[in-house]
Structure 1
């Protein structure tokens, strides 16, 4: 394949993966719904920067080394799984506090809001969620090793990085924007407790599954 075909295929596969429901998708939905467009955008920026780092590490072979080294990969899985469980418990705890509150307006001000009160915190949460996701590491190792040949030109590899980062930022930013329009915000705010619950279960479920797989392989 020539480089244009490779880059087109890379962009297509990556965009399909971006649209698939997962921790990144759920994080944007939850936070754009709760905290609005600006927070959603900085979550999106953090996620896209995490994807850029994964892409660079995969392209340079560092992620492949981590993936092939059982101890390093297990540590990454434990860190990533634990962080997702932490996010899930935080979301579910927020719901419990809302249900216990006697103030009706408290349903729209979750306890977690105090940790997302700045752009840097929102960006950090997006970046951490993506960079600690072991499934993202495996995905980018597979993607780069199967589609980007070692003989590809430096400009071609740079284009691949720009495409992966740009598509990620564009998609997650669009998602944050679409979920934070006034009409959509009004509809989603009423359902925010259910969105938090669904996202909390998703984070906890994926994180627990990762931890279960890691500890099962370590102690079998």
Structure 2
């Protein structure tokens, strides 16, 4: 298989994975529909840089070494699961805060808000980089599709494809969710979006924490 075929296959597999429901998609849906386009785009940027770092660490073998060390990987799972539980708690708290409000109204309590662009970027980046499932995915993706003998230029293009597709997909999702017509409808359903995202974050976080504790105790 030549490098062009490898890169096309890589892009296809990666794009399918990006569209799969998970913490990254839930984060964009929750925040772009609530806080608007700019926040959604900065979260998309943070997620894409998390994916870029995962890709780079996998390509250089660092992520493989972490995956092969049970204690290190369990600690990563512990951090990632705890962070997702934190996001789940925030989403469920927002649900309770807004449940009694009229449709379309949002609580403006300071602790529920994303205050600036840097905070939005950081939340996207941390959500992705602390997800141990992302580490496993990129280790598998790189070890399966990227041969050791691939040219340096080819590997650079691979990194650019992984980052660029992630940014394009999450930015497009944030853009679509923040159009005026759609955002009015989504804000009317904001409490239900918060509830769904809270359940997703909490369920995945608890599953990851269970796997982490199982690994530490085994």
TM-score range, shorter chain: over 0.9
Distance 1:115 1:108, change over 3 A: closer
Distance 1:106 1:187, change over 3 A: closer
- Write the distance in 2 (CA, Å) between the matches of 1:121 and 1:141: 28
Q: CA deviation at 1:96?
A: 1.2
Q: Which residue of 1 aligns with 2:160?
A: 162
Alignment gaps of 5+ in structure 1: none
**Which deviations, in whole Å up to 9, do the C-alpha atoms of 1:101-143 show, x marking residues without a partner?**
xx64894135466541110000000000000000000000000
- Structure 1 segment 181-220 matched on structure 2, within 5 A: 181-220=179-218
TM-score by structure 1 length? 0.95
Quick check: 1:93 aligned with 2:124? Answer: no
- Write the distance in 1 (CA, Å) between the matches of 2:112 and 2:213: 33
Q: Which residue of 2 aligns with 1:30?
A: 30
* Residues 115 and 121, structure 1, Cα contact 8 Å, conserved in 2: no
- Write the distance in 2 (CA, Å) between the matches of 1:144 and 1:61: 9
* Residues 77 and 211, structure 1, Cα contact 8 Å, conserved in 2: yes
RMSD: 1.5
Quick check: 1:59 aligned with 2:59? Answer: yes
- Write the distance in 2 (CA, Å) between the matches of 1:45 and 1:67: 26
Distance 1:128 1:205, change over 3 A: same
* Residues 6 and 147, structure 1, Cα contact 8 Å, conserved in 2: yes
- Write the distance in 2 (CA, Å) between the matches of 1:145 and 1:6: 12
Q: CA deviation at 1:216?
A: 2.3
Aligned residues: 218
Q: Which residue of 1 aligns with 2:141?
A: 143
Alignment gaps of 5+ in structure 2: none
